[in-house]
Chain A
């Protein structure tokens, strides 16, 4: 039988305020589960970036889009999953090198994916054509 105390699910709408709400809920959940603070910091940033991408890009700033969020702590890993019904998105390759020293040519955004990819151990994007749903699954190893 699944231990529900290790699972947190949230249904939110695509507002920037939702980022603050989810991150706060995740932190409380992790503190209850006595997860190491350094790991918590990593999970908070990756979650922030994922929801921000959904709000700003999948839903193009619309504030009524649905987002389902789930957090699950297993013995060896922490699993985060987001489902949205906005524009489909599946990066072919995440560009790690961002270095550009000319300030006026420096890109102002696009760092979120790099952060998610670097801070988490697994990152999987999936698009379900039937339900027109995007799913992002991120995993952080705990051991």
Chain B
């Protein structure tokens, strides 16, 4: 699987699509780990194309956040649908993440 990514300043924008089930999530988690290994510290996940998110998908963000904390990096989420937001709420992780309505707003929030 290839992640759709682009860089805006210091921010690595990662566009996710489809159903983040266990199969896809394991591949994405590895790809995100590779980005962090290459020195990317500021990750922005664009979730506009995510149809649904399982707990395997949640793991991508929790694992990335833990790794980024260790290198003074950070992670933000943008374009989350109501059904995806519901999953974060059910497991009470909604307050843990910085969530923005658009990629532009999230990118700005990273600062220069």
Binding site for B on A (CB under 8 A): 16-17, 19-20, 23, 38, 41, 44-45, 48-49, 52, 55-56, 97-99, 101, 103-104, 106, 108-112, 114-115, 118-119
By a CB distance below 8 angstroms, the chain A residues around B59 are 108-109
Binding site for A on B (CB under 8 A): 19, 21-24, 26, 52-56, 58-59, 62-63, 65-66, 69, 83, 87, 90-93, 95-96
Q: Could you list 13 examples of A-B contacts with CB < 8 Å? A: A16-B21, A17-B23, A45-B52, A52-B21, A52-B54, A52-B55, A55-B22, A103-B69, A106-B66, A108-B66, A109-B59, A115-B54, A115-B90
B56 touches A52 (CB 8 A): yes
Name the residue of chain A whose CB is nearest to the CB of B53: A45
Given the known inter-chain contacts A41-B52, A49-B54, please indicate yes or no for A23 contacting B69, CB distance below 8 A: no
The contact of B21 among A23, A41, A109, A115, by CB within 8 Å, is A23
